[in-house]
């Protein structure tokens, strides 16, 4: 049986990364390396106003003083920041008034990824902002959204058209001094998405961004800013893929969310960057800073993430619960296989009164991977009646992988109720045996059990994403019986 | 001798203290102990006193404590009073073998009972390191992790005396061995005590370390205990801390376990200034069992930090960890527990729990239960909770006519009960039960007394 298991495991882990193709599109790149001129050049290429350039330079100078963090339980090979291309854009970038203007190659790419970029696919009900190699190539449904006063556009467009909003909110959640990768992003970010939901508006469709790295040797540095004004609601999806390459590529993004009174933002991610091959060669370094500020009373932010890709993941979507009665939730499934490494989790900072947070993290490690949950729950002195519950489970499939849990609980108020629970185990032989006796193959049984194990998180995803996430999980794990 | 230090870095002060006194440190020391010093001071020099940037000391900054000036006693000043007359510990129903340490030094007038089982050695660390060099060569400084913690290295560099216990093959020491460590000095005082316990195959021993302060000045105690527990042996160590608010106590226990051995460690922190307890358990063989418990009850501005590291190096071991804390006034506490399951340690069962009660707005707790697991066929879990007294239970008790204060005490006691019940020596358990209740009622304020028997020293003073 063991042999059989190994075989299945091999088949599965050997299966190709479905999104590993590259697209032959002419890209405009700037030379490798990073210095002040490069920052200026990026800003110039994007035709940015002076204040933006100043902001970039401030961040760049600060970044120079910082060191790459080493506290995570990750083995990060030295990154040569001079060996990265900081700006790559599909060449014909141009005014895209209708779908016909989009480069057919590009269209084909997104079709291959199964992204409803085409506006005819109204039924899919998703407005898409596609970002390829850090540049937003097409935003759909713009007009429909504009009728409601919703702004959904690429970040650079927002810089030109809504400078007041950008000035007000950019960096208000993740400051350029926040951390090493955030500072880098602030200096060189190329594009991203901007969303503004006005007061009292409930966004009728799901907004979505697809990130795609295409060019070689490029780093992707996009940033997303979501501002939800009083009483508004939006559900935002993010998906990522990259071609299969031998070298490592860096992805350092920032996501900022601001919610005002009674506003609610649901942010879902299905992260499937290229994880490297069986030997651990290549793959994306995914170093992302995601943070939400629940500014208004009764506001709510919900992070849901399914992490199956990336060679190394360093990511802690966090919530700063500033408004009274605000709520932060975090649901995560992190799957690692082969030589993947993940150090992911969340931070819940309770500042306001009667704030609540919930953390559900499910880790699955297989192969020779290392999967860590790292989370912080902090209740400040004035945060009365804060409530937190954290559940972190790890599932080990294979005897060479690792699953780790590093929760930090810092409680400074006696009215807080904080609970943390974690378990680590493998799939029970009795469970598999039970399924076997019911005529299910071991492989199906494992699929079933893992699916049940992550259900709590998958259930939080919007329908379309849930299906995709489930498929991804199958690719990553099917049959890898520990 | 006193240490002068103002502008120089804190570590420098101790390094020069070491260099100046190296000769005196070695007067009584055997070669094994003396030879370990150089390497250890080097590590201390490299790492310095841990600050908040050191992950395992994130929530406890000891620098202010070390910045103060202390006197040290490198040539043991003989304690002239007859200690057993001043201080006599009689716990009801507890028949114990009692020995005393004064300021970390083994009290020379300790009287051991004649009925000690054959082959059992109890006595001074310094003396036995000379008379039994073979035991020290095999065990001394083999389990303490100087590399992991610069304060342990500091102890290794300065270590002179403490207690030594050896239980040979097949011997069961029925009576618990009580070690009463008394701190008594005229001015701010720093002590290093170093202890070694060797339990051979099929042997059993239980020890209780009671820490007391008998004078009103500032103390800094840095104690390290190493224990080797061989096949099929049973070893319990209870650390009962009852020191006044000016005490900084750093206590590290390192246990190495062999096949089928069973170990229990229990840190009972009843009163203290700043306390840091390190417990390292290394299960080096299959079928080991270890139980690591702790109870801390703090008020005023006390600070308690418990750090534990359970190393499942081999398969089929079992570990259980439970730390409970009740924090009143402006007390702060930290807990960090790490369970490490090494790659081949299959069939590991490891459980860890840290529960805390915060009674006031100013009390603070930072807890960090960690799992690091490299084997797949394991059952590990950890949990941490922070909360207050349950309103419903409170209401229930009040509705039965119990006063608010009494209900509060009952509920706190019920919370601490789980940890108290883990004590495996009945007489001690009884005593601690009563003591914990006293603490909750605010009656235990004579911290200069022996907690176990309530014995008060001659110059009585009240707690700060």
- The A-side interface with B (CB below 8 A) comprises 71, 73, 381, 394, 396-426, 482
Nearest 5°: CA angle at A143, between A141 and A146?
A: 110
Cβ contact (<8 Å) for B369 and A405? Answer: yes
Dihedral sign for Cα atoms in the order A143, A146, A150, A154: positive
Cβ contact (<8 Å) for B378 and A400? Answer: no
Residue among A399, A409, A422 minimizing CB distance to B381: A422
Contact A215, A133 (CB under 8 A): yes
Q: Which of B384, B385, B389 to mutate to test the interface with A (most CBs of A within 10 A)?
A: B384
B34 touches chain A (CB under 8 A): no
What confidence score (pLDDT) does residue B455 get? 47
What confidence score (pLDDT) does residue B51 get? 86
Cβ contact (<8 Å) for A424 and B380? Answer: yes
Q: How far apart are CA A11 and CA A404, in angstroms?
A: 27
Tell whether B410 is covered by a domain: no
B384 touches chain A (CB under 8 A): yes
| Least Cα separation, residue A180 to chain B (angstroms) | 17
Q: Which chain B residue's Cα is nearest to A368? A: B374
Contact A364, A395 (CB under 8 A): yes
Residue B108 C-alpha from the chain's centroid: 23
Cβ contact (<8 Å) for A405 and B370? Answer: yes
Q: How far apart are CA A161 and CA B256, in angstroms?
A: 67
Residue A34 C-alpha from the chain's centroid: 25
End-to-end CA distance of chain A: 11
DSSP string, B134-171: HHHHHHTTTSS-TTT-HHHHHHHHH--B-EEEEE-TT-
Considering only A381-390, B22-31, B437-446, B454-463, which range has the smallest mean pLDDT?
A: B454-463
Q: Which of A411, A415, A418, A450 to mutate to test the interface with B (most CBs of B within 10 A)?
A: A411
Q: For chains A and B, what is the number of CB pairs under 8 angstroms? A: 116
- Name every chain A residue with its beta carbon within 8 A of the beta carbon of B363: 414
- Name every chain B residue with its beta carbon within 8 A of the beta carbon of A480: none
Q: How far apart are CA B65 and CA B57, in angstroms?
A: 14
Residue among B359, B366, B380 minimizing CB distance to A414: B359
Extents of the domains making up chain A: 24-428
Q: For B286, what's the count of Cα atoms within 13 Å in the CB-facing half-sphere?
A: 5
Higher pLDDT, B223 or A27: B223
Q: Which of helix, strand or coil describes residue B444?
A: coil
Rounded percentage of chain B residues whose pLDDT exceeds 70: 90
Cβ contact (<8 Å) for A422 and B371? Answer: yes
Contact A357, A388 (CB under 8 A): yes
Tell whether B431 is covered by a domain: no
Q: How far apart are CA B146 and CA B370, in angstroms?
A: 22
Cα distances (Å, whole numbers) of residue A109 to A211, A289, B456: 12, 27, 83
What confidence score (pLDDT) does residue A476 get? 63
Q: How far apart are CA B315 and CA B338, in angstroms?
A: 17
- Name every chain B residue with its beta carbon within 8 A of the beta carbon of A420: 367, 369, 382-385
Tell whether B351 is covered by a domain: yes
Q: Which chain B residue's Cα is nearest to A383? A: B361
B52 touches chain A (CB under 8 A): no
Residue among A401, A418, A426 minimizing CB distance to B385: A418
Q: How far apart are CA A378 and CA A346, in angstroms?
A: 11
What confidence score (pLDDT) does residue A139 get? 61
What confidence score (pLDDT) does residue A22 get? 63
What confidence score (pLDDT) does residue A240 get? 67
Q: Which chain A residue's Cα is nearest to B365? A: A411
Q: What is the mean pLDDT of chain B?
A: 86
Nearest 5°: CA angle at A76, between A71 and A78?
A: 115
What confidence score (pLDDT) does residue A128 get? 61
Per-residue pLDDT reduced to its tens digit, B16-68: 889 888 888 888 888 889 999 999 999 999 998 898 888 888 888 898 889 88
What confidence score (pLDDT) does residue A121 get? 43
Tell whether B337 is covered by a domain: yes
Q: Which chain A residue's Cα is nearest to B342? A: A402
Whether B79 has a pLDDT exceeding 80, the answer reads: no
Residue among B363, B364, B368 minimizing CB distance to A408: B368
Residue among A73, A411, A482 minimizing CB distance to B365: A411
Whether B199 has a pLDDT exceeding 70, the answer reads: yes
Cβ contact (<8 Å) for A420 and B383? Answer: yes
Cβ contact (<8 Å) for B371 and A421? Answer: no
Give me the mean pLDDT over the B302-320 stretch.
94
Give me the mean pLDDT over the B107-125 stretch.
86
Residue among A404, A412, A414 minimizing CB distance to B372: A404
- Name every chain A residue with its beta carbon within 8 A of the beta carbon of B351: none
- Name every chain B residue with its beta carbon within 8 A of the beta carbon of A425: 378-380
Cβ contact (<8 Å) for A421 and B381? Answer: yes
Q: Which stretches does DSSP call E strand in B189-302?
A: 189-199, 204-213, 219-229, 234-242, 247-257, 262-271, 274-283, 289-298
Contacts of B16 (CB under 8 A, 6+ apart): none
Q: Which residue has the tokens 């699916």?
A: A451
What confidence score (pLDDT) does residue A86 get? 82
Q: Which of A264, A207, A194 is nearest to A232 (CA)?
A: A264
Q: What are phi and psi of B249, to 5 degrees?
A: -120, 120
Cα distances (Å, whole numbers) of residue A61 to A34, A180, A409: 12, 12, 34
* Residue B93: Cβ within 10 Å count: 10
Angle between helices A36-45 and A50-64 (to 10 degrees): 150
Which residues lie across from B338 on neighbouring strands?
B309, B370
Question: What residues make up the domain containing B386?
Answer: 10-391
The token pair that represents B157 in the structure block = 């560099």
Contact B18, B11 (CB under 8 A): no
Q: How far apart are CA A248 and CA B24, in angstroms?
A: 58
Cβ contact (<8 Å) for B384 and A409? Answer: yes
Cβ contact (<8 Å) for B370 and A416? Answer: no
B380 touches chain A (CB under 8 A): yes
Cβ contact (<8 Å) for B346 and A417? Answer: no
B388 touches chain A (CB under 8 A): yes
Which residues lie across from A344 on neighbouring strands?
A315, A373
B54 touches chain A (CB under 8 A): no
B42 touches chain A (CB under 8 A): no
The token pair that represents B387 in the structure block = 């909360």
Tell whether B405 is covered by a domain: no
| Least Cα separation, residue A370 to chain B (angstroms) | 8
Cβ contact (<8 Å) for A414 and B343? Answer: no
Tell whether B400 is covered by a domain: no
Q: For A186, what's the count of Cα atoms within 13 Å in the CB-facing half-sphere?
A: 28
Tell whether B116 is covered by a domain: yes
Q: Which stretches does DSSP call E strand in A100-241?
A: 126-132, 135-139, 151-154, 191-197, 206-212, 222-228, 233-241
- Give pLDDT tens digits along chain A (482 positions): 444 545 544 444 445 566 666 666 666 777 778 888 888 888 888 888 888 899 999 999 999 888 888 888 888 888 888 888 887 776 544 444 445 555 566 566 656 555 555 443 443 445 566 666 555 555 666 777 888 888 888 888 888 889 999 989 988 998 888 889 999 988 888 888 899 999 999 988 888 777 666 656 667 788 899 999 999 999 988 876 666 666 778 888 899 999 999 999 999 888 878 887 777 788 888 899 999 999 999 999 999 988 888 889 999 999 999 999 999 999 998 888 888 899 999 999 999 999 999 999 999 888 888 999 999 999 998 899 999 999 988 888 878 888 888 889 999 888 888 888 888 888 888 888 999 999 988 878 887 888 888 888 888 887 767 777 777 776 666 445 44
The model's pTM: 0.79
Q: Which chain A residue's Cα is nearest to B353? A: A421
Cβ contact (<8 Å) for A418 and B387? Answer: yes
Structural domain count, chain B: 1
The token pair that represents A299 in the structure block = 């506001």
| Least Cα separation, residue A111 to chain B (angstroms) | 40
The kind and range of the H/E element at A11 are: helix A2-14
Q: Which chain B residue's Cα is nearest to A410? A: B366
Residue B3 C-alpha from the chain's centroid: 26
B358 touches chain A (CB under 8 A): yes
User: Is the ipTM here above 0.90?
Assistant: no
What confidence score (pLDDT) does residue B321 get? 94
Cβ contact (<8 Å) for B388 and A407? Answer: no
User: How do beta strands B262-271 and A222-228 pair?
Assistant: unpaired
Considering only A121-125, B341-345, B409-413, which range has the smallest mean pLDDT?
A: A121-125
Residue among B373, B376, B383 minimizing CB distance to A398: B376
């Amino acid at each position: 049986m063991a042999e059989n298991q190994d075989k299945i495991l091999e088949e599965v882990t050997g299966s190709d990364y479905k999104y590993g193709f590259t697209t032959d599109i002419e890209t405009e790149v700037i030379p490798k390396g990073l210095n002040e001129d490069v920052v200026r050049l990026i800003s110039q290429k994007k035709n940015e106003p002076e204040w933006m350039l100043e902001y970039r330079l401030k961040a760049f100078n600060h970044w120079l003083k910082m060191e790459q963090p080493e506290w995570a339980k990750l083995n990060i090979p030295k990154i040569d920041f001079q060996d990265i291309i900081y700006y790559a854009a599909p060449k014909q970038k141009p005014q895209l008034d209708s779908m016909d203007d989009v480069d057919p190659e590009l269209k084909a790419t997104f079709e291959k990824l199964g992204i409803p970029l085409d506006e005819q696919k109204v039924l899919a009900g998703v407005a898409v902002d596609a970002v390829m190699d850090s540049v937003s190539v097409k935003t759909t449904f713009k007009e429909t959204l504009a009728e409601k006063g919703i702004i959904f556009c690429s970040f650079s467009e927002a810089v030109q058209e809504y400078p007041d909003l950008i000035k007000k909110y950019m960096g208000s959640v993740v400051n350029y001094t926040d951390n090493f990768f955030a500072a880098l992003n602030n200096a060189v970010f190329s594009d991203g998405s901007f969303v503004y939901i006005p007061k009292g508006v409930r966004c009728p469709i799901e907004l979505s961004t697809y990130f795609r790295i295409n060019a070689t040797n490029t780093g992707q540095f996009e940033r997303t800013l979501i501002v939800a004004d009083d009483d508004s609601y939006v559900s935002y999806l993010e998906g990522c893929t990259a071609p299969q390459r031998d070298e490592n590529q860096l992805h350092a993004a920032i996501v900022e969310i601001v919610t005002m009174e009674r506003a609610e933002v649901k942010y879902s991610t299905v992260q499937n960057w290229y994880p490297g091959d069986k030997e651990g060669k290549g793959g994306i370094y995914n170093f992302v800073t995601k943070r939400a500020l629940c500014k208004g009373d009764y506001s709510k932010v919900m992070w849901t993430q399914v992490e199956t890709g990336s060679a190394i993941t360093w990511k802690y979507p966090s919530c700063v619960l500033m408004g009274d009665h605000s709520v932060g939730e975090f649901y995560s499934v992190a799957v690692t296989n082969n030589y993947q490494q993940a150090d992911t989790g969340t931070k819940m900072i309770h500042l306001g009164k009667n704030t609540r947070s919930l953390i559900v993290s499910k880790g699955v490690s297989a192969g020779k991977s290392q999967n860590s949950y790292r989370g912080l729950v902090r209740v400040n002195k004035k945060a009365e009646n804060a409530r937190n519950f954290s559940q972190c489970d790890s599932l080990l499939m294979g005897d060479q992988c690792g699953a780790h849990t590093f929760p930090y609980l810092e409680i400074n108020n006696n009215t807080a109720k904080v609970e943390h629970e974690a378990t680590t185990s493998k799939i029970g032989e009795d469970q598999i045996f039970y399924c076997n006796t019911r005529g299910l193959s071991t492989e199906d049984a494992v699929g079933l059990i893992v699916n049940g194990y992550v259900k709590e998180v998958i259930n939080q995803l919007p329908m379309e994403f849930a299906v995709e996430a489930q498929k991804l999980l199958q690719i990553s794990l099917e049959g890898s019986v520990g | 001798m006193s240490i002068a230090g103002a502008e120089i870095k804190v570590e420098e002060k101790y390094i020069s203290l070491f260099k100046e006194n190296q000769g005196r440190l070695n007067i009584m020391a055997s070669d094994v102990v003396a030879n370990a010093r150089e390497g250890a001071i080097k590590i201390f020099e490299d790492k310095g006193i841990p600050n908040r940037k050191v992950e395992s000391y994130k929530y406890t900054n000891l620098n202010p404590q070390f910045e103060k000036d202390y006197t040290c006693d490198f040539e043991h000043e003989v304690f002239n009073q007859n200690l057993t007359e001043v201080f006599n510990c009689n716990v009801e129903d507890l028949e114990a073998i009692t020995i005393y340490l004064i300021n970390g030094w083994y009290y020379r007038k300790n009287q051991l009972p004649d009925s000690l089982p054959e082959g059992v050695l109890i006595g001074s660390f310094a003396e036995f390191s000379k008379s039994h060099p073979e035991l020290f060569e095999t065990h001394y400084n083999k389990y303490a992790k100087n590399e992991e913690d610069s304060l342990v290295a500091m102890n290794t560099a300065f270590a002179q005396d403490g207690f030594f216990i050896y239980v040979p093959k097949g011997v069961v020491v029925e009576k618990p061995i009580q070690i009463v460590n008394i701190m008594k000095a005229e001015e701010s005082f720093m002590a290093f005590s170093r202890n070694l316990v060797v339990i051979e195959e099929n042997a059993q021993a239980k020890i209780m370390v009671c820490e007391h302060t008998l004078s009103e000045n500032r103390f800094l105690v840095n104690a390290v205990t190493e224990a080797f527990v061989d096949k099929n042996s049973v070893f319990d160590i209870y650390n009962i801390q009852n020191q006044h608010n000016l005490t900084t106590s750093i206590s590290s226990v390192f246990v190495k376990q062999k096949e089928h051995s069973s170990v229990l460690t229990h840190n009972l922190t009843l009163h203290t200034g700043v306390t840091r307890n390190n417990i390292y358990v290394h299960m080096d063989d299959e079928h080991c069992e270890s139980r690591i418990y702790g109870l801390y009850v703090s008020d005023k501005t006390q600070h308690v930090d418990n750090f534990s590291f359970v190393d499942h190096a081999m398969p089929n071991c079992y570990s259980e960890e439970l730390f409970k804390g009740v924090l009143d006034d402006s007390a702060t506490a930290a807990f960090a527990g790490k369970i490490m399951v090494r790659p081949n340690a299959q069939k590991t069962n490891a459980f860890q729990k840290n529960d805390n009660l915060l009674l006031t707005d100013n009390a603070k707790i930072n807890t960090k239960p960690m799992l690091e697991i490299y084997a797949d066929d394991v059952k590990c879990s950890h949990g941490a909770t922070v909360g207050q007294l349950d309103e419903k239970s409170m209401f229930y008790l009040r509705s039965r006519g119990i006063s608010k204060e009494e209900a509060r005490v009952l509920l706190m006691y019920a919370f601490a009960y789980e940890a108290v019940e883990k004590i495996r020596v009945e007489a001690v358990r009884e005593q601690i039960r009563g003591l914990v209740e006293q603490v909750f009622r605010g009656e235990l304020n004579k911290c200069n007394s022996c907690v176990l028997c309530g014995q008060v020293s001659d110059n009585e003073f009240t707690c700060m």
